[in-house]
Amino acid sequence: MSTRIEWNHNRIKRFWSRVDKTNGCWLWTGWTDRDGYGSFRIPNGHSRAHRASFELTKGPIPKGMCILHSCDNRRCVNPDHLSIGTNKENIYDRHLKGRDAKGIQHGTRTFPGRCIRIGTKNGNAKLSESSVLQMKKLREMGLLLREIASAYNVSISTVGKAVSGYQWKHVGSSGRLLDGREWMEFPE
């Protein structure tokens, strides 16, 4: 289910040719998989169409993350109806195994039914306030700095500063990691 699609002109055209844009949901008119999600053929297999749409319009999906529908319409690929979520079980599971990143790195397993909403915005490689907030949430959920860094295409130290509030104090918060430890912002 991992989608890291190389978008080129033809692929983008092919994608949108299978989308019926209504005022609300944008319906996938191509194949659907057995779970009712749109299915988009890519060189190495298939991507779920809503994930492909998210990648195409908002940017890369961080490894191990899932994409949620606010409209509960699995065929819908309207980016406005899509948000990024994470999988509690997947992350918690990994956490229990001593922060072994392997399971999530490949990002091949998702459990759509257990997705947890963590925000409505994502995708920009730029470090906007919303991505800082999202990084903090991912960090709270136990993701490693380097996983977040690779998801956002930024350096580990950038993520470190962002999630610690060193540079982004106004966005700041504190929280609790899965193992119960509290983290807080650095003082200025």
* Stretch of 14-22, 71-79, 84-92, 117-125 contacting Zn ion, by CB under 5 A: 71-79
**Given the complex with Zn ion, which of 48 and 63 has the nearer CB atom?**
48
* Stretch of 51-59, 74-82, 130-138, 153-161 contacting Zn ion, by CB under 5 A: 74-82
Q: Which of 78, 86, 90, 134 binds Zn ion (CB under 5 A)?
A: 78
Sign of CA dihedral 80, 68, 40, 122: positive
Separation between Cα atoms, residue 6 and residue 43, nearest integer Å: 9
Rounded (10°) CA dihedral 36, 37, 41, 44 = -100
Separation between Cα atoms, residue 128 and residue 126, nearest integer Å: 6
Amino acid letter, 15:
F
Binding mask 21-60 for Zn ion (x = CB under 5 A): ----x-----------------------------------
Give the interface with Zn ion as residue ranges (CB under 5 A): 25, 71, 73, 76, 78, 81
